[in-house]
Amino acid sequence: MILYSQPGCPQCKMVHMMLDQQGIQYEECQDYDEMQKVGIQHTPALNVDGSILMGRDLFAYIKNYTK
């Protein structure tokens, strides 16, 4: 799982906190070129097994995550 984020982004900070609270393991990427390669134009975004989740889908995934 990869979290695409930007420094200073309040939504990204919130997603960090939510992932940590749920105990979800993730890597973080703040490389703009890498984000462009996978088609991400806005952050935060979460790559889950090749599917890019953003917005409501991202928050719903974290909220409903089960180990």
Ordered per-residue pLDDT tens for the chain, 67 residues: 999 999 999 999 999 999 999 999 999 999 999 999 999 999 999 999 999 999 999 999 999 998 7
Q: What is the pLDDT of residue 66?
A: 82
Q: What is the pLDDT of residue 56?
A: 95
Can the peptide bond before residue 7 be classed as cis, meaning omega within 30 degrees of 0? no
The pTM of the full predicted model, rounded to 2 decimals, is: 0.91
Q: What is the pLDDT of residue 53?
A: 97
Rounded Cα–Cα distance for residues 27 and 38 (Å): 15
67 neighbors 44 (Cβ within 8 angstroms) = no
Q: What is the pLDDT of residue 44?
A: 97
Q: Which of 21, 34, 14 is nearest to 4 (CA)?
A: 34
- CA 18 to centroid of chain Cα atoms: 10
Q: Please, what are the domains in the chain?
A: 2-63 (3.40.30.10)
